[in-house]
Amino acid sequence: MSESPWKQSVRRFYKNKLAIFGGIILLFIFAFTYIGPYFSPYPNDVINVVLRYKEPSLSHPFGTDRLGFDMMTKIMEGGRISLALAALSASVTLFFGTIVGTFAGYFGKWLDRLLMRIAEFIYVLPLLPMIIAFTAIFTFNVTPMKRMIFTMIIYGFLSFPKLARMIRGEILSIKELEYIKATEVLGLKTHTRVFRHLLPNTIGVIVASTTGIIANAILLELTLSFVGMGFPAGVATWGNLIPNIRGESLVTAGYYWMWFYPVTFISLTIISINLLGEGLRDALDPKGEGQ
């Protein structure tokens, strides 16, 4: 008796040790950022200048910052916001990319040409300047949180063309297979053919693209914070935790923990997301068995 496609995918995934490693690290980071703050004894809203710039110790494993805040607590709480915003961007990309790619690939003809021309136009736009311009124009008098949410939505929208083109290519290839043509002969409705027989076969490229967007969105928040378009200094995000070296050199001053731990967590998160995404793509790809 042959294995089901789902069991084959699980077996392929468990063979990928790097993907499993990435998944374990990512699971730890999620638990650390979303559960950890509930067990932290240090408030994140009370300044204590007596504790400023304390080196890592048993009481403060990641040290303290210039206001006496516990760095480990700030990394935990900052991760919540950064990861949530990154997931928002990926959701927007997934929504528009899946719809445009599916419609273009399935219906073809004039609709395919129209949607692909629109996607190509958006694809060639300079990403960071467009994000900064849209954010500056449409978020003039809003709170920092709303501004950053709008920014991540814009980033997610501007990133959809690549996913749309990948899904379109997959569907154009898959719909020529004999069993897909048979579903048309059998009179299956369009939504049944698309959601039961076409889209499931594109899940590999969807997963890979979505995880890539999440990783890039984390870097975008870091970039915007560095250029002064992110959250104000009082809001803990991973982007805000990277010291602005234009103001002071924390490296030469000896406060290595101020940048080392945030950089480590951001790097581990991005690496683990990419490892997990590649592993899931290979596992869910029906052609991956022979590769």
Burial class (CB in 10 A: 0-12, 13-18, 19+), 188: middle
Percent of the chain with pLDDT over 90: 32
Q: Is the pLDDT of residue 23 over 70?
A: yes
- pLDDT tens digits, 224-271: 887 777 777 677 788 888 755 445 555 556 788 888 888 899 999 999
Place of tokens 């699971």: 27
Weakest-pLDDT range from 81-95, 127-141, 275-289: 275-289
Q: Using an 8 Å Cβ cutoff, are 85 and 217 in contact?
A: yes
Weakest-pLDDT range from 7-11, 13-17, 153-157, 188-192: 188-192
Place of tokens 């920014």: 151
So what's the pLDDT on residue 88? Answer: 94
Q: Supply the pTM of this predicted model.
A: 0.84
So what's the pLDDT on residue 101? Answer: 92
- pLDDT tens digits, 156-215: 999 999 999 999 988 888 877 777 777 666 666 777 777 777 888 788 888 888 888 999
Burial class (CB in 10 A: 0-12, 13-18, 19+), 228: exposed
> CA 173, 176, 177, 180 torsion: positive or negative?
positive
So what's the pLDDT on residue 22? Answer: 93
Domains and CATH numbers, the chain: 5-34+63-285 (1.10.3720)
